[in-house]
């Protein structure tokens, strides 16, 4: 099977897929966007027009979580989903919390980074939503090195990129260390930085963010 991932190094959703790809040591060609193909050509491949998108022998699969589930089904070893139903539910819940209640408000805050063009009402709303989302996430973590069990899972692939951005953009909105407000999150993220797969993805995100900021 020939696999290609339409990728953007700074996308937390693409980073989720890369983390799984690295953990499974899959042979996947990373096609950097924009640049690999024109926006018009990409739009013909997927009406969603967003990265990541997986090309699996010509079949285009959008949405990071769906891509991860697809790869997990095709390449079950090493497993990134636990065997037990309860643990599998935990993984799915953490992915859902990360997407809906942490990444969604951060997505709105990305558009407010420039203080000179900032809408304070928008910032107040989504900073509050981000705090709430992190508090809910904190309630479902216990501070262990991995989100579920004692090995890497798809939950870690979802959480690591999201927490990277929470840590990096929150100081722009007056938070010294927003992750420290959730002690379980803080302990978890610190521990994950010692995992070689997670560390690789964090380093990629860090370099891409520095490049975007002209550093």
**Chain mean position to CA 58:** 25
Asked whether 93 and 140 are in contact (CB, 8 A), the reply is yes
Query: What is the value of pTM for the model shown?
Result: 0.95
Structure confidence at residue 198 (pLDDT):
98
Q: Residue 9 half-sphere exposure, CB side, CA atoms within 13 Å?
A: 14
Share of the chain above pLDDT 70, in %: 100
Average pLDDT, integer, range 97-103: 97
Structure confidence at residue 214 (pLDDT):
77
Is residue 212's pLDDT more than 90?
no
Asked whether 106 and 172 are in contact (CB, 8 A), the reply is no
Confidence of residue 173 (pLDDT cuts 50, 70, 90): very high
**Residue of higher predicted confidence among 123 and 214:** 123
What does the mean pLDDT of the chain come to?
Answer: 96
Share of the chain above pLDDT 90, in %: 91
Q: Residue 172 half-sphere exposure, CB side, CA atoms within 13 Å?
A: 17
DSSP alpha helix (H) spans, 75-153: 85-97, 104-110, 120-139
Structure confidence at residue 213 (pLDDT):
79
Asked whether 156 and 202 are in contact (CB, 8 A), the reply is no
């Amino acid at each position: 099977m020939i696999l290609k991932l339409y990728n953007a190094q700074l996308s937390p959703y693409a980073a989720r897929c890369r983390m799984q790809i690295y953990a499974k040591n899959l042979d996947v060609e990373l096609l950097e966007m924009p640049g690999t193909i024109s926006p018009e050509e990409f739009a013909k491949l997927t009406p969603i027009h967003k990265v990541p998108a997986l090309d699996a022998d010509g079949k285009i699969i959008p949405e990071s979580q769906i891509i991860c589930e697809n790869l997990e089904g095709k390449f079950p070893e090493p497993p990134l989903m636990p065997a037990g139903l309860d643990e599998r539910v935990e993984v799915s819940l953490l992915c859902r919390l990360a997407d809906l209640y942490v990444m969604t408000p951060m997505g709105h805050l990305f558009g407010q980074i420039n203080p000179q063009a900032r809408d304070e009402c928008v910032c107040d709303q989504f900073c509050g939503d981000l705090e709430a989302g992190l508090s809910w996430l904190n309630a479902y973590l216990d501070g262990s090195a991995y989100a579920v069990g004692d090995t890497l899972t798809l939950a870690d692939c979802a959480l690591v990129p999201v927490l990277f951005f929470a840590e990096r953009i929150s100081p722009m909105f007056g938070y010294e260390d927003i992750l420290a407000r959730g002690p379980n999150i803080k302990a978890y993220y610190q521990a994950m930085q010692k995992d070689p797969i997670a560390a690789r993805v964090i380093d990629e995100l860090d370099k891409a963010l520095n490049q975007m900021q002209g550093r």
